[in-house]
Every structure is written in structure tokens, then in C-alpha cells.
Chain A
Amino acid sequence: MSDTASSASGAAAYRPRGRGPLRRILGEPLGGLGAGLVALAVLGAIFAGVIAVHDPITIAPIDRFLAPSGDHPFGTDNLGRDLFARVLFGSRIALSVSLGATFLSLLLGVSAGLVAGYGPRWLDNGLLLVFDALKSFPTVMLALFLVTLTGPSLQAVVLVVIIANAPSYARMARTQTMSLRHAEFVLAEQSLGAGAVRIISTHILPNIIGPLLIVASMDIPVVVAIEAGMSFLGLGVRPPTPSWGSILNDGFSYIRESPWPVLAGGLPIIVTTLGFTFLGEALRDAFDPKRSGGEKR
């Protein structure tokens, strides 16, 4: 798992280390493409109200299953709602859930990992077991199970994302913390009388957070997929709120009558997951000291 599309394309190109990481990301063809696709999704979410001519939830039964046209760029769904508007407003749900849930997973995962890595052995063993247990649930099964308990909601989606992703961040943070806890600067701080909280928050955390941020950013497409997947199964946002998954769900019921709703629901998911993946890969390559600059394989 150490080679990537983007590094392969830059076969023998030599890059001086002095170039800024941003230039390096955008300089890679795929990094630039990824950034473009992500920008498309973000701009769509921010300016949804300005770009969309129609309202995403107004029903117009006469106009059902219209093919794409100038007035309805993506066509209309089974209730005659404008799919383009629904896709645009759906990006708000997709982006806010994926960013918010990823942030929460990082926060909880890293905190637990720091405690496990710095705390006593018994606590470490106990937490490791919890991480492994949480990681063992097949994500969709977990989602279906949790939703039977809580009912479908965005909070349920966020909870599923946290349970699915936080254990890996916790494990990473734990391993890194353990490798640092006997480092000289930590011992020096301990001998100066610093408490565990201070050592963890001001000395260990800044040293381990970089790689974790990159891993989390590469997980964003996965989170977008979880949100869309749960909404597709009717476990996420409630109708009539537009989400890409619920557009797919509505369209899937009528897939034999019109292909447009399904195509409109799937397209933004593909664009966003590809965008974040390409961008994440470029980000990782740019910040990985082993591959940024110098010779690449």
C-alpha cells in the first residue's frame, strides 16, 4: 500500500524540496483534478440557493420523470421535483456530515488512543479490546442495527461513522504515543514535573496529529459513501430533505420508468468520492517525507 497513481505518473521527475506543498498537490495531474472536483462539490453546496432555479422539495406531479433539458439540467424525479436542485442541496448534507463526522471521529479516536498509549498497561489492553470489537462490526450491519434502536436520523449516521472510523484513528494514535512516551523530550518534561495532561496535549499530540489528519482526509470519501448508503437504505436523512442517497433511493423504486433520477443521484457521489480520493492521495504524497521530492519509483 505504498504506491499510488500520482507517484507513478511522476516517474523520474525530480522535485526540489523547497516547493510548497500546495503547489506540489495541484501540480500533480490527479491532485489538480481532485481539487477541482472537490471545489465543484463545495461550491455547489455553498451556492445551492443561488444556482438552483427550482425549489428542491416543491412537488409538481405533472412534470414527473422529465428528461434533462435547459430548465431541468438533470431532469425530474417521481414527484416532479427538479433533480439538479436536489443534487445541489444534497451536497450540503453530504459535505457537512462527512466533515463533521470525520472531525468527531478524529477527536474521540485520538483522545482514546492517547489515553491508551500513555496510560497504564491494563487500561491499554482494555481499550485495545474495545477498539478491536468496534472495528469488527461490518459497517452496514452496524448501521442497520443502530437504526432499529434509534430510528433513522442524521445523528445515527454520525454515530455509525464514529464507530466505524474512530477505532483506526485510536490505534494509530496509540502506537505513535507509545513510541514517543519514552522519548527524551518527554522524559525531560516529566522530570520538570509536568503532569500527564500537559505532556499529552502540548508535547505528544502535536507530534502525532499530522499523519492522522492525512489518514482522516483520505477517509472522507468513505464517510460520504456511508452517508449516501444509509440514506439510500432509508436509514439516514428523513424525506423530503434531499440527500444523494435518498435521491438514489427514490429513483431506484422507479428505475424501470426513468433512468434520470438514479443517474442524478449517483453522479455527485462518484464526483465527490473521486475528488476527495485523488486529493487525499496527492496530499499524502506531498507530505510524506519519503516521497516528496527526490527520486520516486
Chain B
Amino acid sequence: MLTYAVKRLGLALAVVGAVIAVVFVMIYVIPGDPAAVALGPRASPALVAELRQRMGLDRPLPIQIVRFYGSVLSGHLGNDILSNESVLTIILGLMPHTLRLILGAMSWSILLGIPLGCLSAMRPGSIFDRITAVLSVSVIAVPAFVIAIYALLIFSIGLHWFPAIGAGEDPMDELYHLVLPSLAIGLGWVGYIARMLRASILDVQGENHVRTARAFGLSERKIVFDYVLRIAILPTLTVLGIGIGQMLSSAVFAEIVFARPGIGKLVYDAIITRNYPIVTGTVLVTTAFFVLVNLIADLFIAWLDPRVRYSLQR
């Protein structure tokens, strides 16, 4: 387990290193002058030249990349152009809002997806199974931001059941504000998890140890929960790990549609004001966060399932 953990950690660090390099390449090598973009189309050439010098864009490329790595790895992601606050502080301050939203979406997908998957797998081919299957595929296909806008239109503006704007004041109010946005993000994952779980339960049910359990005359309920689900749930966990990254993308839309504070709203507003360090900083932080979550999910799976530990030894 330790060998696996060390190797997996090394891989994650390498990916983060490569991510920083990719961001560097995009900023400095893609045609287009970041200084000119930051100042807008009406800036004078002298002003652009001055900013170029301040950003270090006039130095040779190798020096730039070393400086870039240095500042990113020391946590210095630059300062907000408007308030001059540290970008990292701003991002970390807003992160809890976005995380709460993602957590809400995950709760929906687990609370609805797992029971639906189990019930479908218990009676494959039944009407219930078929309807769940079609609905699952449908909610996976439709983009989360369309669901978010329609939910806002129907349940907030049309029916006035849920609030349309903000994140709420006290805990109960926050929860109330969280219902629609998190459901909009999580709905696709409900379908995804239901489908995955159904497929992996049906796979595991064909295995020898389940046949043995059945031969011993154990109740169907015990077989499903103690012998099938314990194994069948593993791929679902991996998917949820990866899912957090995609939920982060959907969260950007949900925050904009429901006017909630959070990282997505932060970057979106930063683009309008050309607040360049905020955008770069957020991309780096969220990507690192995604790599970290995947690492944790993989380590968790390896801890549960010994077979996985050997797959990385190539």
C-alpha cells in the first residue's frame, strides 16, 4: 500500500508540475500579448511596454519559466488588480461557498443515484428499470447550465418555491438557497451513478462468491448489501472522484445563474474587468484541487481494493 501511495503521489506531483508548465505555455507562448490583453485595446504602446517589463515579459523564456514556477510553488499567485489583495487569499476565502455547492450536488447524486441503481439492478428489464434507464441517459445528456436556467425559471421565478439569488444568511437559509443550484449540478450525476451502479451490480452478481452465498441460503437483501454492493460500489467512488472536477465546471454556471458567491462567479467577474491574475490563479488552484481529489479517491480505492494497488506497477 505504501509503495502504491508513494508512486501515486509522485504521479500527482508530476501532473501538477506539467499543469503549471501548460499554463505557462498558454500565457507566454500563445500568440497575443498578455500585457496588451490586460490593459485593453485602448492602451498606449508605452503603457504596454511598461507593464511588459513589470510582468517580466521582456526577459528570455527560460528565465521567465523559472520565475513562474518559483512564484507559483511559493503560493504567490499575484495580486488582485483592483484591490491589490493576494489572489490566493481571495480564492481560498471563496472556496468554501463553491465546495458547499459541490457537496450539495454530490449529496443529491448519492442519495438518489445509489437507491435508483440498486432498485434497477434488482429487477433488470422491469418497467421501473427501463424508465430509470431512459431518464438517466437523458439527464446525463442535457447540460447542467440549461437545467439550472430552466429550474430557476420554473421553481424560482414561476412558482416562487425557492429563492433565485444569493447564498442565504443563517445555516437553514443557506440550505434552502442550496437546493436548486446543487440539484441542477447533481441531476446528471444522479443518472450517471444510477447507471454505473446498476451495471456493476449486475457484473458482481455473476461472481462465484455471490453464487456461494446464494447456495448457503442467505436472504437476497443480505446478499445485495453485504456481498454485492461492497464490491459494486467501488467504480462509483472513482467516478465521483473524477466527478468533482466536472462538478466544479458546472458550479461556475450554477453560481452565475443563481448569483451565488464563489469561485466561478469570481473568475467570471474577473474576465469582465480583465483582472488577469485572478483568472490565472483560479485555474491553477482549481486544477491542483482536482488532482488532489483524484489522488485521494485513488488512494481510498486502493485501500479498499488490493487489486488496484498492483495496477500501477508497470
Binding site for B on A (CB under 8 A): 1-5, 8-9, 11-12, 30, 129-130, 132-134, 136-142, 144-151, 221, 224-225, 228-229, 232-233, 235, 248, 252, 255-256, 259, 262-263, 266, 269-270, 273-274, 276-278, 281, 297
Contact A269 B249 (CB under 8 A): no
In contact, A149 and B137 (Cβ under 8 angstroms): no
Q: Are A150 and B15 in contact (CB under 8 A)?
A: no
Within 8 A of A (CB), among B199-219: 199, 202-203
Q: Considering the chains assembled together, what is the distance between the CA atoms of A192 and B153 in angstroms?
A: 67
> A274 with B138: in contact, given A132-B15, A149-B27, A259-B153 (CB under 8 Å)?
yes
**Interface presence of B252 (CB below 8 A):** yes
Closest B residue to A226 by CB, please name it: B143
Interface pair B142/A252, CB less than 8 Å apart: no
**Contact (Cβ within 8 A) A136 B282:** no
Contacts of B124 in A (CB 8 A): 8, 11, 297
Q: Are A150 and B32 in contact (CB under 8 A)?
A: yes
A1 CA / B194 CA spacing, docked (Å): 10
With A137-B287, A144-B267, A144-B279 as known contacts, state yes or no: A273 contacts B199, CB within 8 Å.
no
Q: Is B140 an interface residue (CB 8 A)?
A: yes
| CB <8 Å contact, A270 and B137 | no
Q: Considering the complex of A and B, which 6 residue pairs feature the smallest CB-CB distances, nearest first?
A: A133-B18, A225-B143, A277-B141, A5-B133, A140-B249, A11-B125
Complex CA gap A225/B30 in Å reads: 25
Known contacts A137-B19, A141-B252, A255-B152, A8 near B133 by CB under 8 Å: yes
Collect the chain B residues with CB atoms within 8 Å of residue A149's CB: 26-27, 30, 32, 34, 37
The closest CB in chain B to the CB of A221 belongs to B141
Instruction: Verify if B222 is at the interface (C-beta below 8 Å from A).
Output: no
Interface centre among A1, A144, A270 (most CB of B within 10 A): A144
Docked-complex contact B157 and A3, CB < 8 angstroms: no
What are 9 A-B interface contacts by the 8 Å CB criterion?
A: A1-B235, A5-B133, A5-B134, A8-B124, A132-B11, A138-B246, A144-B271, A149-B27, A277-B140
* B143 touching A229, Cβ below 8 Å: yes
CB of A136 within 8 A of CB of B287, answer yes
Please tell me if the beta carbons of A138 and B34 are within 8 angstroms of each other in the complex.
no
Contacts of B304 in A (CB 8 A): none
* Residue on B nearest A267 in the bound complex, by CB: B146
Contacts of A141 in B (CB 8 A): 248-249, 252, 267, 282-283, 286-287
Q: Separation in Å of the B89 CB from the closest CB of chain A? A: 19
- Whether the pair B283, A137 counts as a contact (CB closer than 8 A) is yes
B283, A233: Cβ atoms closer than 8 Å: no
| 17 extra interface residue pairs, beta carbon distance < 8 Å, beyond A30-B137, A141-B287, A229-B143 | A1-B199, A3-B198, A5-B136, A11-B125, A12-B125, A136-B287, A140-B248, A144-B282, A145-B282, A149-B32, A149-B34, A225-B143, A233-B256, A255-B153, A266-B150, A274-B142, A277-B137
Contact residues in A for B133 (Cβ distance below 8 Å): 3-5, 8-9
**Residues of A close to B234: CB separation below 8 A:** none
Asked if B37 and A274 sit within 8 Å, CB to CB, the answer is no
User: What is the minimal beta-carbon distance from B268 to any residue of chain A, in angstroms?
Assistant: 7
User: In the complex the two chains form, is A269's CB within 8 Å of B146's CB?
Assistant: yes
Please indicate the chain A residues that have their CB under 8 angstroms from the CB of B195 in the complex.
1, 3-4
Query: Which of B15, B157, B276 is in CB contact (< 8 Å) with A148?
Result: B276
Docked pose: A145 CA to B279 CA in angstroms: 6
- Are B134 and A136 neighbours in the complex by a CB distance under 8 Å? no
Q: Which residues of A contact B76 (CB under 8 A)?
A: none
**Chain B residues within an 8 Å CB radius of A136:** 15, 19, 245, 287, 290-291, 294
B15:A273 contact, CB within 8 angstroms: no
